[in-house]
Structure 1
Amino acid sequence: MDKPKHTPDGSLSTLVGNDRPSSDDRDIEKQVDSSGDPQPNKQLFPVTDLARGIVGWEGQDDPDNPQNFVPGKKWGLLLLISACTLISPLASSMFSPAVTFMAADFGETNETLLSFTVSVFLLGYTFGPCLLAPLSEIYGRRIVLSAANWFFVVWQIGCALAQNIETEIICRFFAGIGGAGCITLGAGVIADLFPVEQRGKATAIWGLGPLVGPVVGPIAGGFIGENAGWRWAFWVLLIAGGVLAAAVELLNQETFAPVLIRWKLEKMAKETGRTDLRSAYDGLDGNADSGPAAVRQALKLGLLRPLLLLVRSPIILLLSTYMAFVYGLLYLFFTTISSVFTSRYGFSSGLSGLAYLGIGMGFLAGLAFMAFTNDRILVRSTAKNGGKFEPEMRLPLMIFFSSILPISFFWYGWAADKHVHWIAPIIGMFPFGVGMMGVYMPIQTYVIDCYPKYAASANAALTASRSLVGALLPLAGPTMFADLGIGWGNSLLGFLAFAFVPVPIFFTSYGKTIRERWPVDLDGKKG
């Protein structure tokens, strides 16, 4: 009666990842078939499986299976984690316009150190995902997300009360580690809840925070720093983060199927007194040990998964590198906006934040386009492929959007360099926002489709690499633009973006071949 299936038969989602029977599941099916049971409508986990000690779902339509949650519940849980995902990226850039006020308080004049005070938050994004994602695949999404949220909130107090720049840097680093929770685990929650034909829209909603947050942050931070003082940027984050962390405690619930089945197993073992029970997700080896040695081994394997993906999966490494490159361009873009509009156009610190609306509107336009087209294109491509889904069907859109990216650097750079009316450079940022969303979303959804069971770890690999670049590359921005000027400095970035346009063509043409030639064992079953 127990079955590990996630969705009803006939759904497109039964064709990919952990939405289809794993090799272990098929082994169990063979084992049952070989028993000689003549039952004509035999299911994957017949009644005899419980007698054999295997605990799984109560059929394909089990309401406890997150894939079978009612739509309102699914989208409600996604919106909850998406709200948290907005606050964390907001914190990454909200402090940026107010950093000059902190510099005056601390008497700090080193521009590189001041820039690092802002970007060190992203360095926390580099380390946090590599720890939080594997833990969520061992202990569940809910407890790890809750712990990360409160960790983020507590460190805002340290940021607000810091009395020197060293303390500020340390507190922002640890706040970034906690803030990485929602950024990382959202991918896992999407894989837990949604079939493949709905993941594009779900990823677009969840992806709104990481891309819009850094844009809204400077707008809010500029006015707060100018009118209430730079410390109030952190008090506002403390209040908003605390409210959302409390909401997660009250409204969130576990969605990771292996953890839910483990809880079910423990309850059944207690009620029946049986000691031979094991989860359907534990395989067929009969050694589902939960002792200290097994826990240590699970932790070791889990913490290595993001690194394994980067080292052993060339396609994940290449996609991570490309996403990190685009992310680095974004943050180099950000390094000039505030100073350009205050020094060249006479904007105040508060008004300079409004200049980010150009790129923000581009993000929203790109997001809307991807939300409405990503899944539809996938369904049509699957139908044309004889009903066979392939994750690479997400990638062709990148070719068009990568071609849009370079436009902004030339438009914005030379409009600002030649002191064209302030609206011109703001409009010039729009194409980059559209293009970046068209690159970011397909990659994000692609890794979820490739590794649905370990989507959090796959996303951690992406997040860690791009955040490392986003944290360190902007430190070179002030020197580069001082030497080359706004026009030629941005043109250099535009030429680099143009040189990378063929990369999505390569991914679309050879991604499947690379993925299948270098598979990665994330379960640790091959030693």
Structure 2
Amino acid sequence: MSSSTSSTIPGLNSGHDGALAEPKVESSSSEGDGGDVIDWEGDQDPECPYNWPRRKIVTNSTILSILTFLIPLSSSIIAPGVPELMVEFHNTSQILAAFVVSVFVIGLAVGPLLLSPLSEIYGRLIIYHVAMVGFVAFTIACALAPSLESLIVFRLLQGALGSCFVTNAGASIADMVPSHRRGTYLAAVSAGTLLGPIIGPVIAGFLNDARGWRWIFWLVTIVGGAAGLAMLALGRETYHPLILQRKVDRLRKLTGNPKLRHRLDDGLTPAARLRRGIVRPVRLFWTPIGIVCALYMTVVYGYLYLMFSSVTTVFQDQYNIRGKLSGLVFLGLGIGNLIGMVLTSVTTDRAIKNRIANGAAGPEAVPPEVRLTLTPYGSVLLPAGLFIYGWTAQYKVHWIIPIIGMAVMGVGNMIIFLSISLYLIDCYGIYSASALAANTVVRSIGGGVLPLAGLRMFSALGIGWGTSLLGFIAVAMIPIPVLILRYGERLRRRQDMTNL
């Protein structure tokens, strides 16, 4: 290994695809200590997650997909039960009623600052197990909450622990699946982030009528507990540096050579590694790419949760759709998200495979900006859907038309969300959990704060002009994905990645 190689961060499109290559022991002349460097042993090393049997990868991905669906679902599933719980707790504040829902999203903004860096120090699996126990415990606490104040606190902690899966699941997929096959797997994981909050109110509308709001939390407890047990039984560690470190530990015992180390070893003490890991999300955010992607995702995510706070009221007032049926209007967003998910995953994976077929020297030679191919189209569909939804609802056009507008918005929403998630993962490789954490923190603040002003804005401006205001902001942001496509690679090359 040359000294220049030792200063390169794997997985940052520097000749590696997320910390790969296969175990071998090679002489390390660059360190000057005569030590040996442990790496993956050839292209077929079974210890490397890229070479796991398909069944093993699908099993781990499926468990993560269930959890990344359950956590966002938990953010909005209580919405239909809010009127009932406010009556039970003798509180009439509309702000607190909205905050019961949105405080979970604020928890999603807090948790990644700690849980994502820890997964890049101690591995993904142990952090998943700890977070799952905490999430289930605080969900039970929500079901038994004796007061509105305690429910809000428990919801905050529930969201903070659940954020582990929302931010780290994408990084786990990057650990297991090379970039040219990553889109489909990541789409399955990312879909839950947008579909979960949509499906939640649909389920809860019926469950709340049948058993009351507390049973909403018992349902989440049952599903979360089952998924946690499945992960305990079937989950496997995917983080490449930790797997290689375990190999180093085994070889040290066999050879008696304490100088053995693995290729991804940064040489830091555990304390120094923890300090660096904690600040890494901030460093990755405070780059041109990090700031632009986070702010754009804040608008997209904030609009989604703003819709959650207003759609039920709009359809009740304009179309007299109430009770159990009120949750079904969210299916327009859900169908749109599914269409956007399929389009993005298939298109971006195909684009990478075509680049490779046309002479690119492997997936690592394909710039991450390829992931943003559809984003300009998504940036147009988002405001178009808002305008259709707002003005047709304003003039009480047949209810199916605003739902179609919501579907159009959903397509644009998912294209932007999934494309940027894939882009960040391909950009930052083994540090993708921190990159996604930085993005999640900022967008979750938007998702938690915007709904608090949503109903007031629509009350002041009306449905048509209220959604038009949102649409005009989205129109102003249309140039952003075009600029990233044109200048993204240049910006990435200017970033100092040697001190992450």
Give TM-score, length-normalised by structure 1. Answer: 0.87
Equivalent residue, structure 1, for 2:218? 235
Q: Report what 2:152 is aligned to.
A: 169
| Aligned equivalent of 1:145 | 128
Aligned to 1:393, the other structure's residue is in SS state: helix
2:430 aligned counterpart, secondary structure: coil
User: Does residue 512 in structure 1 map to residue 489 in structure 2?
Assistant: yes
Farther-moved stretch of structure 1 (222-231 vs 352-361): 222-231
Does the 8 A contact of 1:396 with 1:505 survive in 2?
no
CA distance in 1: counterparts of 2:250 and 2:417, whole angstroms: 42
Give the aligned partner of residue 169 of structure 2: 186
| Distance in 1, Cα, partners of 2:402 & 2:453 | 22
| Distance in 2 of aligned mates of 1:255 and 1:218 | 33
Q: Does 1:404 align with 2:387?
A: no
**288, 312, 337: which one aligns with 1:363:** 337
Q: Answer yes or no: is the 8 Å Cα contact 2:35–2:261 preserved in 1.
A: no
User: Which residue does the alignment assign to 1:127?
Assistant: 110
Q: Percent identity?
A: 39
CA distance in structure 2 between the aligned counterparts of 1:21 and 1:233, rounded to whole angstroms: 46
Distance (Å, rounded) in 2 between the aligned partners of 1:230 and 1:425: 29
Please tell me the residue identity of whatever aligns with 1:459: L
Find out whether 1:300 has 2:283 as its counterpart: no
Measure how far apart 1:463 and its partner are: 1.0
Equivalent residue number for residue 7 of structure 2: none
Amino acid paired to 1:398 = T
User: CA-atom RMSD, angstroms?
Assistant: 2.3
Contact 1:88 1:179 in 2 (8 A): yes
The answer for the alignment partner of 1:377 in structure 2 is: 351
Alignment partners' CA distance in 1, 2:400 and 2:372: 33
Aligned to 1:458: 435
Q: 1:371: Cα distance to partner?
A: 2.2
Contact 2:168 2:433 in 1 (8 A): yes
Shift of 1:142: 0.6
| Separation (CA, whole Å) in 1 of partners of 2:499 and 2:85 | 45
- Work out the CA distance in 2 between the residues paired with 1:228 and 1:341: 24
1:477 counterpart = 2:460: no
Change (3 A) 1:88 1:386: closer
Identify the residue that residue 39 of structure 1 maps to in structure 2. Answer: none
- SS where residue 54 of structure 1 aligns? strand
The answer as to 2:188 corresponding to 1:205 is yes
Are residues 1:61 and 2:48 paired? Answer: no
Say whether the 8 Å CA contact 1:382–1:390 is kept in structure 2: no
Instruction: List alignment gaps of at least 5 residues for structure 2.
Output: 1-12
Instruction: State the partner residue of 2:370.
Output: 393
Bigger mean CA deviation after superposition, 64-73 or 266-275: 266-275
Q: Which runs of 5+ in 1 are unaligned?
A: 1-12, 36-48
Match of 2:305 among 331, 351, 360: 331
CA distance in 1, matches of 2:162, 2:335: 24
1:347 CA drift (Å): 2.2
1:111 is aligned with what amino acid?
Answer: Q
Match of 2:93 in 1: 110
Checking the alignment, whether the CA contact within 8 Å between 1:138 and 1:299 is kept in structure 2 is: yes
SS of match in other structure, 1:233: helix
* Structure 1 residues 449-490: Cα deviation after superposition (integer angstroms, max 9, x where no partner): 111111111111111111111011111112111101111111
User: In the alignment, is residue 349 of structure 1 matched against residue 332 of structure 2?
Assistant: no
Pairwise CA distance, 1:385? 7.2
Match of 2:77 among 94, 101, 106: 94
Deviates most, 513-522 or 452-461 = 513-522
One-letter amino acid of the counterpart of residue 368, structure 1: V
Q: In 2 relative to 1, CA 364–18 (structure 1 residues): closer, same or farther, beyond 3 Å? A: closer
Question: How many pairs are equivalent?
Answer: 484
Q: Quick one: distance in 2 between partners of 1:244 and 1:329? A: 30
Say if 1:201 and 1:374, in contact at 8 Å, map to a contact too.
no
Kindly state the Cα deviation for residue 418 of structure 1 after the two structures are TM-superposed.
1.5
2:469 equivalent in structure 1: 492
Distance 2:498 2:209 in 1: 52
Contact 1:15–1:389 under 8 Å retained in 2 = no
Aligned to 2:68: 85
Q: Does the C-alpha gap of structure 1 residues 209 and 265 become closer, same or farther in structure 2, counting only changes over 3 Å? A: same
Deviations 1:125-166 (A, max 9, x none): 111111111111111111101111111111011111112211
Deviation, 1:498, is: 1.3
Which amino acid in the other structure matches residue 177 of structure 2?
F
TM-score of the pair, normalised by structure 2: 0.92
Greater mean deviation of Cα atoms: 369-378 or 123-132: 369-378
User: Displacement of 1:366 after TM fit?
Assistant: 0.9
C-alpha displacement at 1:230, in angstroms? 0.8
CA distance in 1, matches of 2:19, 2:250: 25
**Distance in 2 between the 1:494 and 1:374 partners?**
26
Task: Choose the corresponding residue for 1:154, options 133, 137, 161.
Answer: 137
In 2, Cα distance between equivalents of 1:18 and 1:461? 19
CA separation in 2, counterparts of 1:488 and 1:155? Answer: 40
CA distance in 2, matches of 1:337, 1:323: 21
Distance in 1 of aligned mates of 2:450 and 2:233: 39
> Are residue 430 (structure 1) and residue 399 (structure 2) matched?
no
Q: For the residues of structure 1 that align with 2:18 and 2:59, how far apart are their CA atoms?
A: 23
- Equivalent residue of 2:212, what SS? coil
Partner SS state of residue 62, structure 1: coil
1:440-451 aligned within 5 A:
440-451=417-428
Conserved 8 A contact 2:252-2:258: yes
Partner of 1:317: 291
Q: CA deviation at 1:345?
A: 2.1
Residue range with higher mean Cα deviation, 376-385 or 162-171: 376-385
Partner of 1:31: 29
Alignment partner, residue 444 of structure 2: 467
Contact 2:28 2:36 in 1 (8 A): no
Q: Is the 8 A contact 1:308 1:520 kept in 2?
A: no
Mark the CA change 1:29 to 1:274 in structure 2 (over 3 Å): closer, same or farther.
Answer: closer
